[in-house]
């Protein structure tokens, strides 16, 4: 299997059995998530900012306004840390102490790069929109040059990456298994509701099909 080599910074110190470095597993987590938390430090102050993202091949892309503090800072090749976390379930143990959560999380460390190549930039934005809904880029009104200029795209290479995963039932103390307390996992999933059409929707359009969502 193709693996991310663990580094001093990504090697799990505790609960090493939860560590995942397999590239396909990491990519699957990144492709299922919609929001990352980007972390960076400017002038000694650390910021954490939730934002959308998309993975293309071996890069993670984020975008935003060229005027944003985050984009401006990150394009200076400063160290950045990006986390994506999917909450998969609540783990109800018989003992209060052993309650837990099932989750899959990825942390990417590295330095971001401002994407200047227009083809790479457009491909990233295309992937960004299609990450939310399959085929959406092609049906949307295409970006103008002004809009492209008004969007900064940053790429973070997927080099120094680790994932942590917990799955399965609670792990109780042996003597607690006989207790008359319900125990198990309540799975959690992000589910779409009924699409809410824009109040100014043009007439005669088909409703949006939520089967097109990556998590639909």
Q: Which of residues 29-58 bind a copy of itself (CB under 8 A)?
A: 34-35, 37, 39-41, 45-50, 52
Check binding of 167 to a copy of itself (CB under 8 A).
no
Nearer to a copy of itself, 33 or 155 (CB): 33
Paired tokens of 80: 């950045």
Assess contact for 71 and 65: CB atoms under 8 A: yes
Q: How far apart are CA 156 and CA 21, in angstroms?
A: 17
Check binding of 11 to a copy of itself (CB under 8 A).
no
Q: Per CB under 8 A, which of residues 53..112 are in contact with a copy of itself?
A: 65, 67-69, 79, 81-83, 85, 87, 90, 92-97, 99, 101, 103, 105, 107
Assess contact for 103 and 84: CB atoms under 8 A: no
Q: Which listed residue (17, 24, 178, 211) binds a copy of itself by CB under 8 A?
A: 178
| Total of chain residues touching a copy of itself, rule CB under 8 A | 92
Check binding of 135 to a copy of itself (CB under 8 A).
no
Question: In this structure, what is the dihedral angle of CA atoms 200, 62, 11, 185, given to the nearest 10 degrees?
Answer: 0
Q: How far apart are CA 99 and CA 29, in angstroms?
A: 23
């Amino acid at each position: 299997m193709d693996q991310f080599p663990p580094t001093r910074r990504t090697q799990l110190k505790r609960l090493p059995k939860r560590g995942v470095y397999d590239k396909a597993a990491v990519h699957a987590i990144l492709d299922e998530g919609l929001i990352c938390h980007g972390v960076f430090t400017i002038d000694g102050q650390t910021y954490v900012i939730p934002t959308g993202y998309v993975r293309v091949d071996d890069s993670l892309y984020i975008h935003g306004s060229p005027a944003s503090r985050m984009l401006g800072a990150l394009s200076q090749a400063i160290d950045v840390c990006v986390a994506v976390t999917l909450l998969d379930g609540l783990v109800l143990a018989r003992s209060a102490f052993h309650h837990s959560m099932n989750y899959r999380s990825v942390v990417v460390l590295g330095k971001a790069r401002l994407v200047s190549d227009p083809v790479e930039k457009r491909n990233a934005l295309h992937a960004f929109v299609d990450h939310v809904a399959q085929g959406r880029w092609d049906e949307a009104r295409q970006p103008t040059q002004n809009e492209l200029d008004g969007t900064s795209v940053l790429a973070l290479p997927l080099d120094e990456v680790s994932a942590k995963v917990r799955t399965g039932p609670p792990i109780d103390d042996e003597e607690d298994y006989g207790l008359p307390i319900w125990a198990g996992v309540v799975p959690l999933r992000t589910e779409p509701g009924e699409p809410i059409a824009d109040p100014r929707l043009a007439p005669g359009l088909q409703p949006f099909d939520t089967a097109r969502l990556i998590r639909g």
